[in-house]
Amino acid sequence: MKFMEKYGKLIAMSAAALGMTAALTIESSLAYFTTYVSAGGGGVVNLGSSTVIDEDVEEMTKLITISNPSDRSDCFVRVKVFSGTEVTAAVSGDSRWRHGEDDYWYYTPVLPAGESTTVLNAKINVPEGFDKDNFNVVVIQECTPVVYDEDGNETADWNTVIGGEENWKEAEE
């Protein structure tokens, strides 16, 4: 009994001080636990599809092939050739290459992982009197992963393009 009389006031004051300290800090700690962040937008995730362009020039003809170095992702490929107004390039390929209305050349079968396309030829026509050492013929290639429609058929979604500006190659002839 004597203990409570002697230390009772001290225990009560300590408990009150502890309670007030807890009351003052609980608001900031609750704010810490209730803070959240949300993000919006989106981005393309590249899951291994990429292509490599190879250009050789023989007798004023660019020989263009596209390789798929991936070991797991098949893709569709398309190529566009820019030559300017004075220098022209007549593009042709075998039956696997088809010319689209958008001036891209589409490799019609799926390009399997680890494989290359057949050669797409760009015959460069330089007018007489034009400096044959001072012009550019630019080749841009793009690929898109294989997607499947409701029936399980392979299709290309050219709204999801991989490559393009990252993989374009300009050759000075």
- Residue 55, both tokens: 């250009």
Look up the CATH number of domain 52-172.
2.60.40
Domain ranges of the chain: 52-172
* 170 membership: H or E segment, kind and range: strand 169-172
Whole-prediction pTM: 0.66
- Residue 44, both tokens: 């393309």
Average pLDDT estimate for 97-118: 95
Separation CA 118–CA 94 (nearest Å) = 8
164/150: higher pLDDT: 150
pLDDT in tens, 11-66: 888 888 888 887 777 766 666 565 566 677 666 555 556 789 999 999 889 999 99
Residue 172's pLDDT is 34
Locate the DSSP E strands across 4-161.
52-58, 61-67, 75-82, 88-93, 97-99, 105-111, 120-125, 136-148, 154-156
Residue 45's pLDDT is 58
Confidence of residue 153 (pLDDT cuts 50, 70, 90): very high
Which of 109-136 are b and which e, b meaning 16 or more Cβ less than 10 Å from the residue's Cβ? eebeeeebbebbbbebeeeeeeeeeeee
